Amino acid sequence: MASFKITGDRRLKGEIVPQGAKNEALQIICAVLLTKEPVTIHNIPNIRDVNQLINLLGDLGVRRTRLSETSIRFEADDINLDYLESDSFRQKAAALRGSVMLLGPMLARFRKGRIPRPGGDKIGRRRLDTHFLGFEKLGATFSYDEEDGGFYRVDAANLKGTYMLLDEASVTGTANVLMAAVMAEGTTTIYNAACEPYLQQLCKMLNRMGAKISGIASNMLIVEGVSELKGTEHTMLPDMIEIGSFIGLAAMTQSEITIKDCQIPELGIIPDVFQRLGIKMEFRGDDIFIPAQERYRIENYLDGSTLSVADAPWPGFTPDLLSIVLVTATQAQGTVLIHQKMFESRLFFVDKLIEMGAQIILCDPHRATVIGHNRETQLRGIRMTSPDIRAGVALLIAAMSAKGVSIIDNIEQIDRGYQNIDTRLNAIGAEIVRL
């Protein structure tokens, strides 16, 4: 198990470029299975989850040609479906939550699929019902065999378009069902679809491959099935979660940072939420400049009541940034209620922030009230463990702003979502040592 040793209370200065979007990468890379023709993908993040998925595709028979540090050409013309029955596939796919995204493309092209119960973050219940209910609506049947190593087996010999109302606006559920529907017979209407930029990117890519998808960026997607798809070229968006993390990091460490190439129109309300915490920023073309701020003050509502920041389906605020907002608020002037609606265990890392000296009341598994210090009391360095990707980076931000030295264990969780984060932050003045 690797660890970070962080010497805190250092101000950073310089430019930092966000990686390609992790949440987009997992579905875009799975989509290469939909065609025999080459698919070239640019701006691929060099992170553990994405690399594991790319390697898993290689084991399935997908040829990969690296064109540059962030670009790969995939060719899925000779897929070995027998590999799905192997112990190797079971172990590798079970360790990667994104592996469930293989099912939609496999059902579309091969009319069958097999996947073990996926792993991933320990942040609460993350059900797969949306995926499987959508597949069933399209005519697929599935079974779950506990004795067979916990495998889901799906048969889709007769995929037919239909109307479906998703039980939740799940990003991965929408993407998975969409990839199955593009080669189903007839027309599929997906209502209550997620409409995050990641989904919009996938839809645009599939249309370039020959799919017929309308309603992009809305919560109703209409898909006219086609018999086959062709190759394409695709460039992924910058990671909005990294961009938000860097905004919070700059505020907490009183640093002057320029975040490059942000594709600001795709960020939705993310900049607005951080501005409501009192963080100043300037939009310079497609860059976001965060000036060094001695203090920042949380806005109240117009009637004077306490600000509440809650997650919601897009275009609401992404749940992946609530932990960053929470830690950033610990040194603000004012009070904010953080309401994590989606995952019941994602706020449990606040006990480490409290141990560092933060003033936080954990109201219940979904809500926490943060009373900001207004820099009158500095956080102190401690030893802690990263429970998941986003909480791990929140703890890293806390450690970088704290007085003294902190150790964060289990940083493999951070590496799952943030590319060479220690190297990139050290380049602008941080002091992070990988142990």
Q: Is 129 helix (H, G, I), strand (E, B) or coil?
A: helix
pLDDT at 19: 97
d(CA 125, CA 67): 38
Under DSSP, the state recorded for 173 is H
Rounded to 5°, the CA angle 146-151-156 comes to: 130
Tell how strand 187-191 and strand 163-165 pair up: parallel
pLDDT at 11: 97
Indicate if 121 belongs to the active site: yes
**CB-based contact 137:162 (threshold 8 Å):** yes
Tell whether omega for the bond before 315 is within 30 degrees of 0, i.e. cis: yes
pLDDT at 122: 41
Alpha helices in 161-269 (DSSP H): 171-181, 197-208, 240-252
Contacts of 133 (CB under 8 A, 6+ apart): 164, 166, 167
Looking up tokens 């961009």 gives 243
Q: Where are the beta strands (DSSP E) in 117-242?
A: 141-145, 151-155, 163-165, 187-191, 212-214, 220-224, 232-235
What distance lies between CA 130 and its chain's CA centroid?
18
Q: What is the pLDDT of residues 219-263, one digit of tens each?
A: 999 999 999 999 999 999 999 999 999 999 999 999 999 999 999
Q: What is the pTM of this model?
A: 0.93
Give the DSSP H or E segment for 23.
helix 22-30
Order of strands, edge to edge, in the sheet holding 383-385?
A: 383-385, 405-409, 3-7, 432-434
Q: Is 329 helix (H, G, I), strand (E, B) or coil?
A: helix
Residue stretches of the annotated binding site for UDP-N-acetyl-alpha-D-glucosamine:
97, 320, 342
Query: 49, 121, 239, 311: which one is catalytic?
Result: 121
Under DSSP, the state recorded for 241 is H
Task: Please report how the helices 22-30 and 197-208 are oriented relative to each other, as an axis angle in degrees rounded to 10.
Answer: 30
Q: How many residues does the chain have?
A: 435
Give the DSSP H or E segment for 364.
strand 359-364
Residue stretches of the annotated binding site:
22-23, 97, 320, 342
d(CA 161, CA 108): 12
Give the residue from 111, 86, 115, 84 showing the smallest Cα distance to 98. 115
d(CA 211, CA 205): 9
Q: Which residues pair with 234 in a beta bridge?
A: 41
Q: Which residues of the chain are modeled with pLDDT < 70? A: 118-127, 147-149
